[in-house]
Structure 1
């Protein structure tokens, strides 16, 4: 697979870069951003995959989260894909709503038309993009995953379904129970159809409920602001707290007093998340 460099900027001794490539999974051109710490010039480094939220692109986290300084210190590469397929022929919400279609892929594999042809973000994030990163950049096989809001939903569900692929998972303000919230119900109905049983494979609370005692349980860190406007109706963090308790899942859930849903919140605690993942990279087997 070939990639094309769009831009590059020096940052804290490393490089912030942006690329495009043709995706066989989504059937369109995709864009991603990657931060390579200075250590990557002489050795392979572990990588954190960051999944962004509704309306975002690959640029939001890289420009607003202030993650490069600590990533450079710890020697962690960061990869941020786009939040949906885009381009000519890729369908969008008929009313142009922000919570479905372009910028709102929900990190699942759509099964309904016309979405199924392009909206295969689960396979893109789990399979195609890591293969591309490992082919073109000096990274080890140590991976972690994190995200915000819709991207937090993606990070948690992907980690729960692929615990052998990652060392740890974290999220800011994740949508944890999409089968029971308006954002999730709208997206799942269009992407997956009316069979609500099929929705459960992309719901963190539902996935936790079917874990067996012998299943691998990744270290999980979740931060949630108490003044988040979406907390009660859309995010439903208490449901994740209850599901984790029931499943005896090693969830560290922190309610951050006075914080909202914005990147001011993310930038305030991103260092904690990077150090969390770095700790578990150290424990991971080579």
Structure 2
């Protein structure tokens, strides 16, 4: 059993155990006691059990599940100890078992909530740091693009940047020639090979028109077959050239990969750099002809 699954199952088992203990102690009280004291505690135990089940089904990474379990157990133990010591200091004599159980159950929920906040905060921090690193790397690619002298250099840098910075199974740089009316698609560079891949790339390149503002288009569950499997998603962007447009594509063929807003921002920034580089190459070519 994997570590993350074990931690999630342990969290669920903890909730079930707390619910069972609360149900057993409720048998000694009246209906009013059950409604006022035991009912809320059973709800808390159910919340802990649900959290463990959610972590199991959502396949939360092991480190995050471990932190949830640690916060839950730690919160329960802390509240149980503090509340018991505080009450004993005042009352002197009391049913310790029931107080420990209630304290641990309530503290478990408190710890779980703090754990969720901690896990989400760490995830947001990691995402922001990863985006900052990608943006820094993209700035380096942008400088290289702006110093490019040929279309092949621009194409190779764009494909390399997409492969390195954006999740996916392949990337491509295409040109769409619109000078003769009917768009003619040329694959300049691609990490995707085969006739099926080319068909997908050409259909995506033809579908995305460049706008006044550079905006990436996300496609989900595309219907064109790619090597016998339908690609799950694609991220496509086009920029205007003197003969038509240039298109950059990132393709995902697995359900595990899903493009988010950060990926869109990175591709749009890359396209802006590519557009400037293409304009420079076109200007040099025009000056050379003259």
Larger-Rg structure? 2
Whichever structure has more helix as a proportion of its residues is 2
Q: After TM superposition, is the score higher than 0.5?
A: no
TM-score normalised per structure 2: 0.20
TM-score by length of 1: 0.21
**Larger relative contact order (Cα-Cα within 8 Å, sequence gap ≥ 6):** 1
